[in-house]
Amino acid sequence: MVPEGSAADTHSLHCDIIVKARTTAGQPWCEEQCSLDGVLFLKYNNRKFTPLGNRGNAVNGTQVWTDMTQRLNYLGQELRKMLANSIQEMTETSGPPTLQVIMLCKYKQEQIVGASWRFNIRGKYFIFNTMNMNWTLIDPEAGGVMSKWKDDAQFTKDLRTISTADCRHWLKELLKHQKEKPRSTSRVPDITQLLSAINTTQFQHEKAFIVTASVIAIILPLVVGILVKNC
């Protein structure tokens, strides 16, 4: 038996996001995919959200699906704005930059116990831990971008809200749909019931035969007698 409060009670929501500052016609500028406990259930490409697997199909069309897709759509747009406004802070300027974002939140006993964002621009990383509001620079070349984003109060607030309050609500609702597959209701017929049905049918047939034979036995002599008398 797994002890109460163990790692088995912890669930995680993981979202990967790729945002491009500029794209050619017909190419998506934002791609997203999310997984619950390592199982993909949602994919976003060019403003279209697609459910994946049994879990995605189970929550597709529900209120949590609507809440989540609307919020992720908003997040993608905000990340694209931040990326476009930060191009000049980047050391490398050859070609339009691509931003890769990983959001991870951990849920245990109906509470968020871990939440963070990992940003990658051309291989330059920095991390935002929304549990303690701490920004960590991994690559010095990303320092200019991180400073600009860190100073944006609304953007920072959005990141914290999405990875804590929103994720808490999403995980709570998503886990409600995590049920076992319904078992088949078909079963082998009870042999006693089957024999009983056969015997009942046979008895009904025998009863009808007896009634018919009795009627014939009564009527036939009368008919014969009338015929003989007439002759």
pLDDT tens sequence for the chain (231 residues):
434 445 568 999 999 999 987 777 777 889 999 999 999 999 998 778 999 999 999 999 999 999 999 999 999 999 999 998 887 766 555 567 899 999 999 999 999 999 999 999 988 999 999 999 999 999 998 899 999 999 999 999 999 999 999 999 999 999 987 654 444 444 444 444 544 554 555 545 555 545 555 545 566 555 545 555 564
* Beta carbons within 8 Å of 51's beta carbon, 6+ residues apart: 41, 42, 57, 59, 60, 65
- pLDDT value for 3: 43
Residue 100's DSSP bridge partners are: 18, 120
- pLDDT value for 195: 45
Place of tokens 């994720």: 167
Q: How far is CA 38 from CA 13, 28, 34, 42, 77, in A?
A: 8, 25, 9, 12, 25
- pLDDT value for 88: 73
- pLDDT value for 191: 43
- pLDDT value for 194: 43
- pLDDT value for 199: 55
Q: Where are the alpha helices (DSSP H) in 142-182?
A: 143-150, 153-161, 167-176
- pLDDT value for 176: 87
- pLDDT value for 129: 97
- pLDDT value for 218: 60
Token code pair at residue 139:
């690559």
- pLDDT value for 168: 96
Q: How far is the C-alpha of 13 from the C-alpha of 165, rounded, in Å?
A: 13
Q: How far is the C-alpha of 97 from the C-alpha of 121, rounded, in Å?
A: 7
Q: How far is CA 212 from CA 67, 188, 201, 223, in A?
A: 73, 37, 17, 16
- pLDDT value for 202: 54
What is the CA 83 to chain-centroid distance, rounded? 29
- pLDDT value for 196: 55
Torsion of CA 64, 68, 71, 74, to 10 degrees: -130
Token code pair at residue 16:
């990967």
* Beta carbons within 8 Å of 166's beta carbon, 6+ residues apart: 67, 68, 71
156 closest CA partner among 133, 131, 127: 133
* Beta carbons within 8 Å of 58's beta carbon, 6+ residues apart: 177, 179
